[in-house]
Homo-oligomer: A and B are copies of this chain.
Amino acid sequence: MSAIPSWRVGATVGARTPALAPDAEAQPGLRADGRLGVHYALTLARGEDAALKAALIGLEQTVELPRALLEADLAERMTGRVEAVCQTGSRAARVTLSYPIGAIGADLPQCLNLLFGNISLKPGIRIVGIDWPAALLDAFGGPGHGASGLRELTGAHGRPLLCTALKPMGLTARELARRCEAFARGGIDIIKDDHGLADQPAAPFAERLARCREAVERANAGAGTRALYFPNVTAPARELPHRLDAAKAAGCRGVLISPWLVGLDTLRFIRDDYGLAMLAHPALTGSLFGRGAGMAPELVLGDLFRLAGADAVIYPNTGGRFDFSGAVCARLNRHLRRPLGALRASLPTPAGGMSVQSAAEWARRYGPDTMLLIGGSLYAQGDLAAGAAALRRAVEEAAP
């Protein structure tokens, strides 16, 4: 916050506000005093007071009652405490609140609710930072495999992993499996279903799973590669365990999942009950990333996806057909990789409009602890195995 032109820098509110932010001494993203710290960027309506808005957030996200109806002890114990109010413009402020873990317990959905449940319905509130207490990191647990686990599974070391998507929907399972085999032979590490492949009639889940697993095994046996096929298990609540059982029975080591379509905590369930690696897709999260309201992408696709157990996280790379900036991508990479308690690092997986030609450049720019997801550009090569092999060579040559 130090770079922000401020009128009331560090103005603090409330009797028990510590003089120094408790996270100042700790790892970035960690908080040492056992509370959950949340930093908000507020856009203020005409005449709206930043400190008051901050205090109302602290009530809305916990007790949902006006302060006047609360006993003093309960208000102190349970509500969000305003720790800093920093006016950053005539209609803008940064504020920091902290919450007791007792307002969350150990449930991830309730953590999400406390972070942005009701206030998602209010204007001018954007979460721009979260400082996690050890208790929540322990409760949520993070990746079961992580970046290093994915390297073990694929045998890919010292370079970015390569990923592609089976598409388009509308092809038969047999046709998708043929593509899967070609990609595996060419040296792609992880071949995932396009995230729109669910259980449609053209390529039903069970048949697609069987054929693609068989295809990837055949390619690995023939070419000496160690490609993995990750089926998309994003599914109705009742079906999800069956698809996971099937994926595991078929010998899959990992799956693709869209957390926002099925609930973020589904990741923990898959990690704990199935032990499968997970590549997480950002479908439906985009509405959170507005300028004046929502949550910063590095907190949703970075912190939250990682805490819930994503071993790798797909995000729309800058310069592609979506509009994440280079700065956002850099922050996302950092949040997925940075030391955070005892959590394993996740593998940032930029996607969306990168090309075979630009892959080496992205490999150099993002470094080896990355997975490059390239779809359309590979399909444009015509010969998929040759295209994949060219991509693999380019990325290997770019490795340090």
Contact = CB atoms under 8 A, between A and B. Distances in A.
B109 A198 contact: yes
Contact of A201 (B105, B108, B114): B105
Interface stretch (A20-28, A162-170, A362-370): A162-170
Interface in A329-388: 375-376, 379-380
A284 to B, nearest CB: 5
A235 B196 contact: no
Contacts of A65: 167-168, 375-376, 379
A266 B265 CA distance: 12
B121 A282 contact: yes
B78 A283 contact: no
Interface residues of A, number: 83
A273 B258 CA distance: 24
Contacts of A268: 236-238
Contacts of A118: 283, 286, 322
Interface stretch (A4-12, A148-156, A289-297): A289-297
A77 to B, nearest CB: 6
Contacts of A316: 121
Interface in A23-75: 60-66, 69-70, 74
B168 A103 contact: no
Contacts of A375: 64-65
A214 interface: no
Given A103-B196, A109-B235, 12 more contacts: A63-B169, A65-B379, A69-B380, A70-B168, A103-B170, A108-B236, A109-B262, A117-B284, A121-B316, A121-B323, A236-B269, A238-B269
The 6 closest A-B pairs by CB, nearest first: A120-B286, A263-B263, A63-B168, A117-B283, A121-B286, A78-B170
21 contacts: A64-B194, A65-B375, A66-B376, A66-B380, A74-B168, A74-B170, A107-B235, A109-B262, A110-B196, A110-B198, A110-B199, A116-B287, A121-B286, A121-B322, A121-B324, A237-B265, A237-B266, A238-B268, A262-B265, A290-B290, A290-B293
